[in-house]
């Protein structure tokens, strides 16, 4: 399991949420330029650095989630997955 921070919007407010995801259920991770652009334009009112990157994490349909929008670049998420895998192997 890895810890990720998701971003989502309800009505006109943006929220962050901490979640734990089984990395075996991730299908793909791609950079989310749409949310990056919204952040740069000041349309996402959250206490995040304006240069923060976002990723779309596509999940296995069996999880009940289609995709998650998470804070961090695809490479940052992959680093978390690889770090978690190494810790489990040393276990």
**What is the value of pTM for the model shown?**
0.84
Own/partner pairs for 33-38, CB < 8 Å, 24+ apart?
35/7, 35/69
Question: pLDDT tens track of the chain, all 91 residues?
Answer: 999 999 999 988 999 999 999 999 999 999 999 999 999 999 999 999 988 999 999 999 888 888 999 999 999 999 998 887 655 555 5
What pLDDT shows up at residue 90? 52
Report the C-alpha gap between 86 and 2 in whole angstroms. Answer: 12
What pLDDT shows up at residue 76? 95
Report the C-alpha gap between 25 and 62 in whole angstroms. Answer: 8
Q: What is each CA distance from 47 to 19, 23, 44, 66, 84, in whole angstroms? A: 18, 27, 9, 26, 27
DSSP state of 24: G
Report the C-alpha gap between 31 and 48 in whole angstroms. Answer: 17
């Amino acid at each position: 399991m890895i810890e990720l921070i998701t971003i989502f919007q309800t009505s006109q407010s943006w929220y962050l949420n901490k979640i734990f995801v089984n990395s075996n259920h991730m299908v793909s991770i791609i950079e989310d330029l749409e949310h990056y652009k919204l952040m740069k334009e000041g349309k996402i009112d959250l206490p995040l650095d304006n240069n923060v990157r976002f990723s779309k994490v596509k999940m296995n349909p069996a999880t009940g989630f289609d995709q998650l929008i998470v804070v961090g670049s695809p490479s940052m998420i992959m680093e978390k997955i690889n770090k978690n895998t190494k810790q489990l192997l040393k276990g």
